[in-house]
Amino acid sequence: MSQEQPQAPSLGKGRFTRDIHGGDGDTVARLLNVSNNDVLDLSVSLNPNPPDVVGIAKSHLDSISKYPNSSQAREALAEALGVKSSSVILTNGGAEAIAIVAQYLSCGWVEEPEFSLYKRYLAQIDESAPRFASNPNNPTGQLASEESRSEVWDEAFFQLASGKWSRKDYESGSIVLGSLTKLLACPGLRIGYIIVQDDKIAYELESRIPIWSINALACAIIPELIENLDLQQVKTCVDRHRSKLIEVLDEFDLPYIRSDANYICVQTPQFNLAQLSNIIEEPHYQALRAQLNPASGAQLNPASGALFRCLLAGQRVVVRDCTSFGMDDYVRVAVPNEDGLEKFRIALDKISSWRV
């Protein structure tokens, strides 16, 4: 099946219904009354083979008894990026980086499909305003072309897709956003950053961030975590796992959008609602629908991402909702490791008999 088809729709201004970001594994485990470890959460796109962040963090637990000091973390990250330390601003995750830059610019432009937080934090959307864009695109996973330009670039997944720290658009005046969350698979630590080489803009941005925004434990472990990172090795690993995921998607005849990243947008198949009528009325499926897809309404679409997502959740596999991208008939699937891929394949096999 062609990796180039289907293409993601361009939807203009797009829609925002609720905060949908993924990370629903704990919710599904609670609704199914199983252990969190029994649920495969592919709604969060993380490095499938990350360093031992927990092990490293354990040796720095004494840092939580002190106020955060981000100077060493900032210098270590600046050295890895190849910029002066004053050009790097640490933030409480990539979300805060987006919020701070959106607040500073106030007015911006977003070409769909894109990550919904840009529009959420921008006070005004105007086609003539500075553009916010992700590289690789979130949700399609495709790296931006060399000639593509934007005043604000979000490189949250760039290292995993390219094997490099940055495309260095800050050298031409762009504001670049980043996150170590995906690269290090540590969303709970909230490690984000902004790169800007204009000292005046850097000062304006940093003045908007609350003091001690990034926690002491994150500050303490950043230098050690990035010291031994081999980004080319990380990319090679992601590429290998993504190829295996594609093999499974092809096995089940599931169309997808070609991706360079550690996630793939998958078009949902059509299901036989008559055959599913008894199953989807079961209490646990009703609970999954209410919690995971409250905007889907009472009327089920046989080819909706909402239905596909609930059926997979019933098999203890969670994938990312794409309605916030304006792509109701897609789900985004994180690239899993070998064990996760087999669980995903088994889940697809179990629900395949319900397809049209």
Check the CA dihedral 34-43-102-89 and report its sign: positive
Q: Domain check: are 71 and 159 in the same one?
A: yes
Q: What is the pLDDT of residues 301-322, one digit of tens each?
A: 777 888 899 999 999 999 998 9
pLDDT given for residue 6 in this prediction:
46
Domain count, the chain: 2
223 and 271 part of one domain:
no
**pLDDT confidence tier of residue 20, bands split at 50, 70 and 90:** low
Rg (alpha carbons) of the chain, rounded to whole number: 20
Say if 264 falls within a structural domain.
yes
3-class DSSP state of 34:
coil
19 domain residue, yes or no = no
Identify the bridge partners of residue 41 per DSSP, sorted by sequence position.
318
Percent of the chain whose pLDDT exceeds 70:
92
CA–CA separation, 261 and 283 (whole Å): 36
Q: Is residue 148 part of a domain?
A: yes
Lookup: tokens for 54: 């927990």
Is there a domain that residue 315 lies in?
Answer: yes
Residues 343 and 240 in one domain: yes
* Residue 192 host element (H or E): strand 191-195
Would the pLDDT of 7 be above 50? no
Domain boundary among 196, 228, 260: 228
| Residue 33 sits in the same domain as residue 98 | no
Domain containing residue 214: 53-228
Cα dihedral: 116, 197, 87, 176 (round 10): 20
Res. 341: pLDDT tops 50: yes
> Is residue 154 within 8 Å of residue 98, measured between CB atoms?
yes
Closest C-alpha among 67, 61, 59, 23 to residue 43: 23
Q: Choose the final residue of a domain: 199, 228, 257.
A: 228
Query: What are 49-82's pLDDT values in tens digits?
Result: 999 999 999 999 999 999 999 999 999 999 999 9
Q: Which of 114-128, 259-273, 282-296 has the lowest mean pLDDT?
A: 282-296
Q: Is residue 5, in this structure, part of any structural domain at all?
A: no
Tell me what the mean pLDDT of segment 36-50 comes to.
95
**Same domain for 201 and 350:** no
pLDDT in tens, 177-225: 999 999 999 999 999 999 999 999 999 999 999 999 999 999 999 999 9
Lowest-confidence range among 30-34, 106-110, 161-165? 30-34
Does 8 have pLDDT greater than 60? no
Residues 186 and 140 in one domain: yes
Which CATH number is 325's domain given?
3.90.1150.10
Q: Return mean pLDDT, the chain.
A: 91
pLDDT in tens, 281-300: 788 888 887 777 655 544 56
Residue 1 falls within a domain, yes or no? no
State which of 228, 261, 281 marks the end of a domain.
228
**Is 270 part of any domain?**
yes
pLDDT at residue 15, rounded to an integer: 37
Quote the pLDDT of residue 299.
Answer: 57
Query: 219 and 135, same structural domain?
Result: yes
Q: Tell whether the torsion through CA atoms of 334, 339, 341 and 347 is positive or negative.
A: negative
Domain of 207, CATH number, reads 3.40.640.10
39 and 115 both lie in a single domain: no
H, E, C per residue of 237-269: HHHHHHHHHHHHHHHCCCCECCCCCCEEEEECC
Q: What is the pLDDT of residues 127-186, one digit of tens each?
A: 999 999 999 999 999 999 999 999 999 999 999 999 999 999 999 999 999 999 999 999
Asked if residue 21 lies in contact with residue 95, where contact means CB atoms within 8 angstroms, the answer is: no
Are 82 and 200 in a shared domain? yes
Residue 4 phi/psi, 5-degree rounding, is -85, -15
What residue spans of 256-328 are helical by DSSP H?
Answer: 273-280, 283-292, 305-314
The label of the residue with tokens 């800050």 reads: 170
Query: Is 217 domain-assigned?
Result: yes
Task: Enumerate residues 6+ apart whose C-beta is below 8 A from 256.
Answer: 1, 3, 246, 249, 264, 265, 266, 267
Q: Does residue 190 sit in the same domain as residue 43?
A: no
Parallel, antiparallel, or unpaired: how do β-strands 317-321 and 330-334 relate?
Answer: antiparallel
Please check whether residues 106 and 177 belong to one and the same domain.
Answer: yes
